[in-house]
Amino acid sequence: MIGKVIAAIAFVAIAAAQYNTQNSPYSTSSKIVCYYDTKGHFRSGDAKFEDAFLTEPLQFCTHLVYGFAGVNPTTCKAIPLSEQFDVIQNHYRDVTNLKRRYPGLKVLLSIGGGRDDPEHSEKYLKLLESVDTRLAFVESAEALATSYGFDGIDLAWQFPPNKPKKIHGTWSGIWSKIKHTFVSPSEIDPKHAEHMEQFTALVREMKNALAHKGLLLSMSVLPNVNSTIFHDVPKLAPNLDLVNLWAFDYFTPQRNPKEADYTAPLHELIDRKYDENVNGLVQHWIHKGCPNNKIILGIPTFARTWKMSKDSGLSGVPPISDIKGPGEAGHHTKEEGLLSYEEVCTQLTNPHHNANALRKVGDPTGKFGTYAFKLPDHSGHGGIWVSYEDPSTAENKATYARNKGLGGVAVVDLTLDDFRGKCNGNKYPILRAARMRL
């Protein structure tokens, strides 16, 4: 009799544990989607990202997204953006062959991503407008995936972005906030309604084609793309395996050259637009009907930088006006307004590096983000303001994703994390921090 009771208790305990594992947001089934932008391979010096650097992060990643392929403007077919590197030098195959070492890994090919001639993205809208061009795209994307061993396609569609926020005084700021609530979608895209419907059709057609081959379909929602006017969430969600929300770059020195602010706040800040934060974008997709477990929260590994002037103030508290455009290019990444995490962390004030260092300002609330700055010298030179992600903010966002019951997080991207371990000896500190909270 006692044996039967013990067996019954054990059965109930196992069933309860299984139920909690399947239904808890703390489930170990959380996904870690790692983006690999091959642009990193073409950098020089310590910023050059060789294939060997992929072996360490792939022990943590459930999905690897290879970036990026593009669209031929004449044929509307999916094409490698670097035929020489991707195909002739066999890099597609080199990456997909990593699945032999990591058999649980899924490798997807991303198309678009803001890397495909972003100043002339009209071809992404033109492609949508015809059944024939959509078919050509679907068939060519499927062929790329199957020919080179990818497990699916990621659509990082290059829709027209929202207009950048402008600087306003107190009263004009109030009026601007009201006015932005009623901005006509036609200012962004006069044919937005048709393009929403056509993109929905493309996703459905792509899903049907890939499903027959057992392949995955995900979508990356790029920064500053208006999901309200381009994404029919209830119709898209059933045809997508993952929805990767790039919830960052709300402010950038290219879009906002005269004002610096947090680039990826977790929650809404005072006097900012209500939707220019992580929670605003996530809540939009949830409220529109996307299952929580399909939503993957994007976490950037890079910083955006602006030049401070003598008139930018002394506190460094954002938003910062009287800015002089993008910050100077980093020694390794060599791109104005952009620094890798390693380029930031090695410039921060520490016992061994005080002179001319960046002063870090953390966020004890966990709601907004981390920034660092250095005031200009007496001649007005050398000032910089930096908004960036670090391990603590990555932990906060991963915790947010877990508590919301989201599908996981996406690290965008591996080549801008500290892949050499220069900050504290640990390689990929942002990826590791996010993983630890899941």
Buried b (16+ CB within 10 A) or exposed e, 348-363: eeeeeeeeeebebeeb
User: Are the C-beta atoms of residues 407 and 30 closer than 8 Å to each other?
Assistant: yes
* Beta strand extents in 42-138 (DSSP E only): 63-71, 78-80, 106-112
What pLDDT sits at residue 24? 32
pLDDT tens-digit map of 145-191: 999 999 999 999 999 999 887 654 444 445 444 444 456 888 899 99
Closest CA to 133 of 192, 196, 198: 198
What pLDDT sits at residue 171? 44
Give me the residue label for tokens 């906030």: 177
- How many helices and strands in the chain, by DSSP H and E? 12, 15
What pLDDT sits at residue 25? 31
What pLDDT sits at residue 14? 41
User: Are the C-beta atoms of residues 57 and 110 closer than 8 Å to each other?
Assistant: no
pLDDT in 10s for each residue of the chain, 438 residues: 445 444 444 444 444 444 333 333 334 489 999 999 999 999 999 999 999 999 999 999 999 999 999 999 999 999 999 999 999 999 999 999 999 999 999 999 999 999 999 888 899 999 999 999 999 999 999 999 999 999 999 999 999 999 887 654 444 445 444 444 456 888 899 999 999 999 999 999 999 999 999 999 999 999 999 999 999 999 999 999 999 999 999 999 999 999 999 999 999 988 888 889 999 999 999 999 999 999 999 999 999 999 999 999 999 999 999 999 999 999 889 999 999 999 999 999 765 666 679 999 999 999 999 999 999 999 999 999 999 999 999 999 999 999 999 999 999 999 999 999 999 899 999 999 999 998
Q: Where are the domains of the chain?
A: 29-301+389-437
Length of the chain, please?
Answer: 438
- List the structure tokens of 416: 């801008």
What pLDDT sits at residue 184? 80
Write out the CATH class of domain 29-301+389-437: alpha beta
Q: Could you tell me the CA-to-CA distances from 335 to 327, 328, 376 in Å, in that order?
A: 9, 8, 20
Spatial CB neighbours of 237, under 8 Å, sequence gap ≥ 6: 243, 289, 290, 291, 294
User: Are the C-beta atoms of residues 427 and 56 closer than 8 Å to each other?
Assistant: yes
